[in-house]
Amino acid sequence: MKFIQYYLDCLSQASYLIGDETTGRAVVVDPRRDIGEYVRDAEAHGLSIELVIETHFHADFLSGHLELAAATGAEIAYSSVAETEFRSRKLGDGERLSLGEVELEFLHTPGHTPESLSVVIRERADDEVPYGVLTGDTLFIGDVGRPDLLASIGFTRDELAEQLYDSLHNKLLPLPDATKVFPAHGAGSACGKNLSTETSSTMGEQRASNYALLAPDKKTFIDLVTEGQPPAPSYFVYDAVLNRQDRDLLDETSLPPALDLAAVSELVAGGALLVDGRDPEAFGHGHLREAINVGLNGRYAEFAGSVVPHEADIVLVVDEGFELEAKNRLARIGFDRVVGYLSNASTVMASNPDDVVPASRLTVPEFEERRSNLADLQVVDVRNPGEVSLGSIEGAVPIPVGQLPARVNELDPSRPTVVFCAGGYRSSVAASVLRQAGFPDVSDVLGGYGAWVELASARS
């Protein structure tokens, strides 16, 4: 058996290639949209991808099933309860697929979504202990899938939580302890609240340590998995719906158009949004007016998808050589309306200082001085509720960064404003969103809440 896990850190997303080397037959499970790596690896190992399996309709990324099917001729497969606009194979509960010696068994495991599916992998059909199980978003390392996402329209949170409990206890927990667990996501994903940084485990380890599996009864389980979930990024429903549809394919090798400053200015005047993918430090030193800062070195697609409307045209500003990466990372969440990028961005901004403005970034002492001197200072905590519950700065208004565009009316643009997060990445995103929305005096805190706590501890 050839088994490869592909882990995409920026989306905390895992996909898999499983092949039988005796026959050359292979499947890919939960592929991302830029599929080149799967195709290259299959060719390198003498494998033919004949089936693309989706464990469910993903909400956090736009899956690459259509791209992979077009490139390889493979079928696309979902649980038999899933309805798709494109042709797809329906996998029944308990159905088995032989690749040769390697055999796959499909288990319906609803709960995260109604159509959720898990894939049991056996290196040989008669193995009593399976090699592993691909659990999708049903079971994570240290957590289970959240049942409250709006992707599951027509089902209540508690109904799905009950289904999730039954799926875990009736389908997955009966698997032997030595069965390896390979989930679709890891730490950082908004698909759960307690995901581990580990990308695999075993059923025995999860049985002994996963808080949700240790719940003594169904009611306790439902209470545990429905409270304290992080806010879902605003693009989740868009992607969950788009993953069911026939749509345009991504060409991951095609650069967006290169634009001069005049063309960029014309597009922005017409309603396009500038997304600046440079680090917050570089953005702070100088950026084009109205640009939104989402650094490529962070969770770029996730936060861009949280603060940029999916129907907006996008103009990229990135360091030279990163234009294709920025376009493809946005395409991973279905944001295909990249109309171009500013060519030679650093040179253009240096040559046009009248079009460039700095971003105010405060050290913690500077922030404290401002708090002392400005009675009407508006302070905004853009971390998630779980982080805020562990402590915040007195008087701060809690609005997670992904909710800021929809809740901006809760803030007063006439007041000087300071935003902070845990370390400074999200606060730069949030501050740029507020400036773009017309707030004239916005700063963020260098080092965020962590730096503020450290200074407060040193002083005490």
DSSP string, 313-334: -EEEE--TT-HHHHHHHHHTTT
Same domain (yes/no): 40, 89: yes
List the Cα angle 328/330/334 in 5-degree steps: 105
pLDDT for 233 beyond 60: yes
Segment 24-54, tens digit of pLDDT: 999 999 999 999 999 999 999 999 999 999 9
Same domain (yes/no): 282, 403: no
Dihedral sign, Cα of residue 327, residue 4, residue 9, residue 144: positive
Interatomic CA distance for residues 118 and 108, integer angstroms: 6
Same domain (yes/no): 364, 338: no
Average pLDDT over residues 302-309: 95
Range of the domain at 190: 2-242
CA atoms within 13 A on the CB side of 271: 5
Say if CB 376 and CB 384 are below 8 A apart: no
pLDDT for 147 beyond 80: yes
Residue 248 lies in a domain: no
Total number of domains constituting the chain: 3
User: How much of the chain exceeds pLDDT 70, in percent?
Assistant: 99
pLDDT for 281 beyond 50: yes
Alpha-carbon distances of 382 from 60, 141, 424, rounded to whole Å = 20, 27, 10
pLDDT for 458 beyond 70: yes
pLDDT for 197 beyond 50: yes
Which tokens belong to 22? 């005796």
Residue 386 has a pLDDT of 86
List the Cα angle 405/408/414 in 5-degree steps: 140
Helix ranges (DSSP H) in 258-333: 261-269, 280-285, 300-307, 323-331
pLDDT level of residue 152 (50, 70, 90 thresholds): low
CA atoms within 13 A on the CB side of 8: 27
Pairing verdict, β 25-29 and 48-53? parallel
Alpha-carbon distances of 180 from 16, 169, 204, 209, rounded to whole Å = 14, 17, 9, 15
pLDDT level of residue 151 (50, 70, 90 thresholds): very low
Same domain (yes/no): 388, 299: no
Same domain (yes/no): 279, 211: no
pLDDT level of residue 189 (50, 70, 90 thresholds): confident
Amino acid in the structure at residue 433: V
pTM of the model: 0.94
Residue 457 has a pLDDT of 84
pLDDT for 338 beyond 80: yes
Same domain (yes/no): 90, 199: yes
Same domain (yes/no): 368, 226: no
Same domain (yes/no): 233, 289: no
Average pLDDT over residues 117-138: 97
Residue 362 neighbours by CB distance under 10 Å:
17
The residue to which tokens 């600046």 are assigned: 276
pLDDT for 150 beyond 70: no
Residue 355 lies in a domain: no
Domain final residue, candidates 214, 242, 270? 242
Residue 389 neighbours by CB distance under 10 Å:
11
Interatomic CA distance for residues 437 and 35, integer angstroms: 36
CATH of the domain at 80: 3.60.15.10
CA atoms within 13 A on the CB side of 232: 20
Same domain (yes/no): 186, 318: no
Same domain (yes/no): 128, 155: yes
CATH of the domain at 409: 3.40.250.10
Q: Given 3-state DSSP classes, what are the helix, strand and coil percentages for the chain, each rounded to the nearest 5?
A: 30, 20, 45
Residue 182 lies in a domain: yes
Short-list 64, 6, 39, CA closest to 333: 64
Residue 434 has a pLDDT of 98
Strand partners, 181: 133, 201
Residue 354 lies in a domain: no
Average pLDDT for the chain: 95
pLDDT level of residue 156 (50, 70, 90 thresholds): confident
